[in-house]
């Protein structure tokens, strides 16, 4: 059996076959060479990475700034305010890093399909954006407000037009100084679904999270800074399973170490959070536990799962069943934070 | 009293004060000089008018072709099909009159606010439009289909952008040969609300039906033919009242003539349809019936009503209470008819 | 002409033919015999009427308490809070008048059709009601909360069941001490649409506002107190026109009196609010102004308009075009106010 | 390591800890003792099981009839019609088995939360049910129609009332002869999500699919036959992972057997459907492949996954991202099929 995995035809499987469909930078960083500035405020974790050209190449990402905000829950009103506030100040910083001034004109784009709940994050965020461009045209807008326009371009299936073409045309028509693009993403970790906001100045591929990759919306294609804001709202079965295989290892590492921990015996096993432990499974233990599967690297496991689930139509892209309520809460966090970071008057 | 109406300060009221907020041509035609081709098919009335430059000036309209389709109800599936079919063939004719060929590329625009039911006709129609532009780009589309793209530009209140600017930008970006713009209109007759489709090649003012007039979308501004398709879904109180005053005259004319009609006495008065009668009220009768009000022209009555209702906030713009169901039905008639008239393959 | 109106066949028209489709008490009170306690707080007018058996007969209403809250606008957040607060304290009083104590169990019923925007006030209000009945069953609910259950029974067209039968069955099943029923009403005055909350302990007829009268929901049919809360969201064309005819009289009375008022000449005529004036038109002036129509009583005018508009299908029941936004705001006012008045803990 | 799994503290984990949250009978049947009548029509698989008291005990299910209809896709209109037709005739048969005659009065109940897309199957189905009960009350309904009423009881979170209490009260109030209850279920197999209709006469637990178990709706509690119709629309991570572990075994079994199959080398590995193969992995092969994990039974694997995923909040209950469109299609299949099976006039 081992031959199959390590043998001839297994070797033929190429890493490129497995398209990593994630837009989240955090989990991509597996090398110590890249500095990742982390801080935790109010139980919310903020990670900042600035990739130079060389670093970017190392992890197959684009050069630029990446900020990731990880939180637990925004259904609670207090939590929502905390996340919104941290998001707003990070967005403001990112604008500054891109030399965007307080008078620069902004076009906000809500990517995704309003009629498909897990994909409606962008359009729903637009619904609560404070637009002012039309007021600037007629004059008389109060001090402290920036010139902001917003659009929901729709999806190619209903417009018949590449989203990037629509954005490009509008940029030429209304001449903003920068673009903010909001989209729902595919997560590459089960634990981050609906619990992470990513900001980057490297741009975005509409639809890239889910199969069909549209043309990029970025500084390179639009000639003005493009700030992308994304939240992973879906995850595929390959990711769910490969994450779980990783968790099994950690779970066993913990329980091997704590086999004589008497307190644990009083707690139901499904309440013991083993993740915070620093115990690691040894190679031998992993081998006993999972056989040949245990010998595969993370990427090889993903490849294998892809080959197992795809041909039988089971590599579903899924979203948590509470999607309607979560998307509503998340879109309010985004629109609130964007409004505050764009209009000085609203940020106190 | 008459002095008030005809006297000094009444004279100051200018007809221009009262913006006729209707986009329906039919009711504007009060002169015999303009030829109005009418036919009735399956209880559906089709009126066609082609205004020359001079004729257009006469009635303060734009030169061009106007087609009006009047029907009773589209909640019934058979009626819906009949209206859709008549609408499709009239739209096809109008395209031909504008020298639009079967290979010309079309951009369809759904004007109005999707979140406001009576104003959502345009966006809802777009939902069911068969778009093909993206398929043309990758090749391989079947014979018999035209290149069609579609967009919901949103409303200025949520985009901050003049709708005409969005359309203009997209035209430059995707280079269609002609535009079809769909919008909900304000009716100038209570009897036509939700019961009339108007087609014209003279263009459209988004939002002009209701207070705030946006920049025109027409051949003049876009440099390609613009076919406007509208259905009146709202009507204002001035129109409801002035229409009713007209009906009162007709009602009395009928009952004066039929005062000895014994059959009528057996029918409840509120079931007698007096409109089909050709009896007219005389000037004297109208005077007795309505006093000084009876001496006013239709436009003077509208002016008066405007002065009465506006200052007390009662010139409501209203829509029939069944609006949700009606807009749904009407949008399906429009999308079905547009699909058939644009794609040869679908028109049988 | 006069003969027609006052003559033989006119006499046959009976007042009963014209069903007054209003549930608002205020405008019904045309007699001085009934005491109407009025107060104005924050520009919000509160009218209270308690009808004895005899008074009720006089105006063809039911014996009981009627509270009417008239306001201007609830799209503004401050106004919304004021109206909500006044509504809450009036509801609380009405509960007390009906000997409902703080521990009494409440069933709240949202009448109307959720799929029809102008009729969705009841169901949308239920969406934001704080229910506690299930928590009472398992114990452990905090002090200061009442036992509250809520239901949207749907409309007979989709359930096939009389709404009153559904409510009656639930009352027997869950044994509440009182019922609160919320519904959208038909206004009998154009100026009150979406601007009035009525509370009463006399019950409600689901659907009575618009043509089809369902069985009453009241103390008499349910054997427990029924508090009805309604907001008029629709109005018919007869009402719009008859109201306007009344306004025309007042408009002329004002302008006759102010014919030499030089200031007025500087103001556009459609900005002069003549309603606050106390000038009245004389019988002779009205006669000159409106001829025979001017001689009719209000009810005779409504009858006439009903006979004019009904046979031609033009007695539309309409709603202001902003219905989506207004219903949303109003339902939040109602749910907020109900929650506060029911749960001591929430009322500060 | 193996000690941990098979050792002392592992033994303490009880199978009862892992609540099998599936309502689908098919996958529960792992014993040959129960006869399962299967047939395949138009690529749609229909399985029928009738459990006697003893058989029911064996698999921890209720005595009664279970019909499972498995299909691939209902987004295609032809497929939709086929599934609807097969569903209708199976529902008709199940009614007959329960001695329900053509004149028996039916109450249809749409369980679930209309505001939560994956849980909205029941309420959305009710939207298109043909109700007649109100017409029966006024008389004059055409031959060939049954007396049908329908209700969306809502969910306990918004009503505060046990759903079973609402149904019970309505049964007492409107006295139907039988109940049809429709609900979204949790799948116990990734491949069956949105692709299976289950019918049973054993009743249903509203909400049992997802954590909170409400009181049963069944013959035992309602005293009249209860036909439950369910479609699994959600699945939990434990199921996704344990299914995948099973697929890995099958995948390897196939590839071991086909290691010299030259044709396969020409096909991308992720296109080879190994499931139809009858190759089975041996115990030894499984051991090599998956180590200790490979020695666990299916239930032990589920237990393990539950212990691994639950404490870290990762046992998500998920739904495919296309949920909005799929639920729409499925609800139309159910409402169409129910209408046909209930009203003789509609079944041709």
pLDDT digits (tens, 9 = 90+) for D97-108: 999 999 999 999
Residue A205's pLDDT band, with cuts at 50, 70 and 90, is confident
> Which of B308, B313, B315, B323 is the best residue to mutate to test the C interface, defined by the most C CB atoms within 10 Å of its own CB?
B308
Report the residue of chain B nearest C314, measured CA to CA.
B191
Segments forming the whole domain that contains residue B253: 4-13+239-318
pLDDT for residue D256? 82
pLDDT tens digits along C289-309? 999 999 999 889 999 999 999
Using an 8 Å CB-CB cutoff, list chain D residues near C126: 158
Among A134-148, C30-44, D77-91, D152-166, the minimum mean pLDDT is found in C30-44
pLDDT for residue C264? 74
**Is residue A175's pLDDT more than 90?**
yes
Residue D209's pLDDT band, with cuts at 50, 70 and 90, is very low
Q: Kindly state the average pLDDT of the residues C14-27.
A: 43
> Would an 8 Å CB–CB cutoff place A132 in contact with chain B?
yes
D244 and D117, same domain (yes or no): no
Determine the 3-state secondary structure of A147 from DSSP.
coil
Residue A129's pLDDT band, with cuts at 50, 70 and 90, is very high
Residue D29's pLDDT band, with cuts at 50, 70 and 90, is low
C144 and C258, same domain (yes or no): no
D and C interact (at least 3 Cβ pairs within 8 A): yes
> Would an 8 Å CB–CB cutoff place D126 in contact with chain C?
yes
Phi/psi region, residue D24 (left: phi>0; alpha: psi -120 to 50; beta: rest), is: beta
Asked whether residue A20 is domain-assigned, the answer is: no
Report the residue of chain B nearest A173, measured CA to CA.
B169
Asked whether residue B87 is domain-assigned, the answer is: yes
pLDDT for residue B340? 97
In eight-state DSSP terms, residue C216 is P
Pick from C158, C161, C170: which is nearest to D169 by CB?
A: C170
- Structure token digits, residue D12: 């303490």
Any chains having at least 3 CB pairs less than 8 A from chain C are B, D
Determine the 3-state secondary structure of D316 from DSSP.
coil
Using an 8 Å CB-CB cutoff, list chain B residues near C287: 291
pLDDT for residue D274? 85
> Would an 8 Å CB–CB cutoff place A251 in contact with chain D?
yes
Residue D9's pLDDT band, with cuts at 50, 70 and 90, is very low
> Would an 8 Å CB–CB cutoff place B186 in contact with chain A?
no
- Buried b or exposed e, range C50-86, using 16+ CB within 10 angstroms: bbeeebbeeeebbebbbbbbbbeebeeeebbebbbbb
Using only C-alpha atoms, chain D has a radius of gyration, in whole angstroms, of: 22
B9 and B128, same domain (yes or no): no
- Buried b or exposed e, range C183-195, using 16+ CB within 10 angstroms: bbbbbbbbbbbbb
Greater model confidence, D144 or A267: D144
pLDDT for residue A258? 81
Query: Can you give the CATH number for the domain in which D188 is found?
Result: 3.40.50.1450
Phi/psi region, residue D341 (left: phi>0; alpha: psi -120 to 50; beta: rest), is: alpha
> Would an 8 Å CB–CB cutoff place C108 in contact with chain D?
no
Q: Do D323 and A2 touch (CB under 8 A)?
A: no
Between CA C235 and CA B238 the distance in angstroms is 15
Q: Do B265 and C9 touch (CB under 8 A)?
A: yes
Q: Do D259 and A313 touch (CB under 8 A)?
A: no
Using an 8 Å CB-CB cutoff, list chain D residues near C169: 169-170, 172-174
Greater model confidence, B210 or C38: C38
Greater model confidence, A159 or C273: A159
- How far does Cα B167 stand from its chain's mean position? 21
Among A234-243, C167-176, C267-276, D241-250, the minimum mean pLDDT is found in C267-276
D211 and D283, same domain (yes or no): no
Q: Kindly state the average pLDDT of the residues D49-69.
A: 89
Q: Do D285 and A317 touch (CB under 8 A)?
A: no
Pick from B134, B159, B174: which is nearest to A151 by CB?
A: B159
Between CA D251 and CA D246 the distance in angstroms is 9
- B161 with A161: CB under 8 angstroms? no
> Would an 8 Å CB–CB cutoff place A219 in contact with chain D?
no
C314 and C326, same domain (yes or no): no
Q: Kindly state the average pLDDT of the residues C231-249.
A: 94
Asked whether residue A299 is domain-assigned, the answer is: yes
A260 and A291, same domain (yes or no): yes
Q: Do D165 and C173 touch (CB under 8 A)?
A: yes
Q: How many domains are there within chain D?
A: 2
pLDDT for residue A2? 23
Q: Do B169 and A165 touch (CB under 8 A)?
A: no
Greater model confidence, A267 or B336: B336
Among B65-74, D261-270, D284-293, D313-322, the minimum mean pLDDT is found in D261-270
Contacts across the B-C interface (CB distance below 8 Å): 188
| Percent of chain C at pLDDT exceeding 90 | 63
pLDDT for residue B267? 75
Residue D137's pLDDT band, with cuts at 50, 70 and 90, is confident
Between CA C36 and CA C49 the distance in angstroms is 5
| Percent of chain D at pLDDT exceeding 90 | 63
In eight-state DSSP terms, residue A65 is E
Asked whether residue A19 is domain-assigned, the answer is: no
Residue A36's pLDDT band, with cuts at 50, 70 and 90, is confident
Q: Do C165 and D174 touch (CB under 8 A)?
A: yes
pLDDT for residue A140? 74
**Is residue A262's pLDDT more than 90?**
no
> Would an 8 Å CB–CB cutoff place D270 in contact with chain A?
yes
Asked whether residue C167 is domain-assigned, the answer is: yes
In whole numbers, what is the pLDDT of chain D averaged over residues? 86
Among A318-332, B154-168, C262-276, D45-59, the minimum mean pLDDT is found in C262-276
Q: Do A311 and D270 touch (CB under 8 A)?
A: yes
A196 and A251, same domain (yes or no): no
Report the residue of chain B nearest A175, measured CA to CA.
B169
pLDDT tens digits along D151-191? 999 999 999 999 999 999 999 999 999 999 999 999 989 99
> Would an 8 Å CB–CB cutoff place C154 in contact with chain D?
yes
Q: Do A158 and B132 touch (CB under 8 A)?
A: no
C61 and C136, same domain (yes or no): yes
A309 and A326, same domain (yes or no): no
Asked whether residue B20 is domain-assigned, the answer is: no
Nearest C-alpha of chain A: how many angstroms from B110? 11
Asked whether residue D297 is domain-assigned, the answer is: yes
Pick from B154, B168, B174: which is nearest to A151 by CB?
A: B154
In whole numbers, what is the pLDDT of chain A averaged over residues? 86
Asked whether residue C131 is domain-assigned, the answer is: yes
Q: Do B319 and C323 touch (CB under 8 A)?
A: yes
Residues of chain B with pLDDT below 50 are 1-22, 209-213
**Beta carbons within 10 angstroms of residue D102's beta carbon:** 13
Among A319-328, B221-230, C228-237, D46-55, the minimum mean pLDDT is found in D46-55
> Would an 8 Å CB–CB cutoff place A179 in contact with chain B?
no
In eight-state DSSP terms, residue A55 is H
> Would an 8 Å CB–CB cutoff place B187 in contact with chain C?
no
> Would an 8 Å CB–CB cutoff place D116 in contact with chain A?
yes
- pTM given for the model: 0.90
- C346 with C336: CB under 8 angstroms? no
- A245 with A202: CB under 8 angstroms? no
Pick from C118, C288, C305: which is nearest to B244 by CB?
A: C305
Pick from C251, C272, C308: which is nearest to B244 by CB?
A: C308
Phi, psi of D203 (to 5 degrees): 95, -175
D248 and D200, same domain (yes or no): no
Between CA B90 and CA A348 the distance in angstroms is 58
A and C interact (at least 3 Cβ pairs within 8 A): no
A81 and A198, same domain (yes or no): yes
Pick from B137, B154, B160: which is nearest to A133 by CB?
A: B160
> Would an 8 Å CB–CB cutoff place A190 in contact with chain D?
yes
Q: Do D133 and C160 touch (CB under 8 A)?
A: yes
> Would an 8 Å CB–CB cutoff place D166 in contact with chain C?
yes
Give the best-scoring range by mean pLDDT among B20-24, C26-30, C146-150, C249-253.
C146-150
C183 and C62, same domain (yes or no): yes
> Which of C145, C161, C167 is the best residue to mutate to test the D interface, defined by the most D CB atoms within 10 Å of its own CB?
C161
**Is residue C70's pLDDT more than 50?**
yes
pLDDT for residue D207? 67
In whole numbers, what is the pLDDT of chain C averaged over residues? 86
Q: Do A319 and D318 touch (CB under 8 A)?
A: yes
> Would an 8 Å CB–CB cutoff place A131 in contact with chain B?
yes
Q: Kindly state the average pLDDT of the residues D196-203.
A: 95
3-state helix, strand, coil in chain C (%, to 5): 45, 20, 35
pLDDT for residue A50? 92
Contacts across the C-D interface (CB distance below 8 Å): 90
């Amino acid at each position: 059996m081992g031959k199959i995995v390590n043998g001839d035809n297994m070797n033929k499987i190429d890493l490129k076959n497995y398209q990593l469909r994630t837009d989240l930078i955090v989990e991509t960083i597996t090398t110590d060479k890249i500095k990742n500035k982390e801080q935790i405020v109010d139980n919310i974790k903020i990670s900042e990475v600035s990739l130079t050209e060389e670093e970017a190449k190392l992890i197959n990402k684009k050069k630029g700034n990446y900020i990731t905000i990880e939180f637990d829950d925004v259904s609670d009103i207090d939590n929502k305010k905390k996340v919104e506030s941290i998001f707003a100040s990070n967005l403001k910083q990112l604008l500054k890093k891109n030399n965007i001034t307080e008078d620069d004109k902004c076009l906000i784009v809500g990517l995704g399909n309003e009629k498909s709940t897990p994909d409606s994050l962008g359009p729903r965020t637009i619904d609560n954006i404070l637009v002012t461009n039309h007021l600037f045209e007629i004059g008389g807008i109060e001090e402290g407000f920036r010139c902001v326009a917003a659009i929901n371009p729709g999806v190619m299936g209903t417009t018949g037009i590449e989203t990037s073409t629509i954005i490009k045309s509008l940029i030429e028509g209304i001449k903003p100084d920068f673009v903010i693009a909001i989209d729902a993403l595919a997560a590459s970790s089960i634990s981050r679904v609906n619990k992470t906001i990513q900001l980057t100045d490297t741009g975005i591929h509409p639809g890239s999270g889910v199969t069909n990759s549209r043309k990029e919306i970025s500084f390179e294609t639009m000639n003005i800074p493009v700030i992308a804001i994304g939240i992973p709202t879906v995850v595929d079965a390959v990711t769910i399973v490969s994450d779980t295989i990783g968790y099994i290892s950690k779970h066993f590492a913990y329980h091997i170490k704590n086999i004589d921990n008497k307190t644990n015996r009083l707690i139901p096993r499904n309440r013991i959070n083993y993740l915070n432990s620093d115990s690691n499974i040894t190679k031998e233990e992993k081998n006993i536990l999972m056989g040949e599967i245990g010998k595969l690297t993370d990427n090889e496991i993903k490849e294998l799962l892809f080959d197992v689930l795809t041909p039988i139509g089971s590599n579903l892209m899924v979203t948590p069943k509470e999607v309607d309520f979560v998307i509503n809460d998340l879109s309010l966090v985004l629109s609130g934070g964007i409004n505050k970071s764009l209009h000085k008057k609203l940020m106190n």
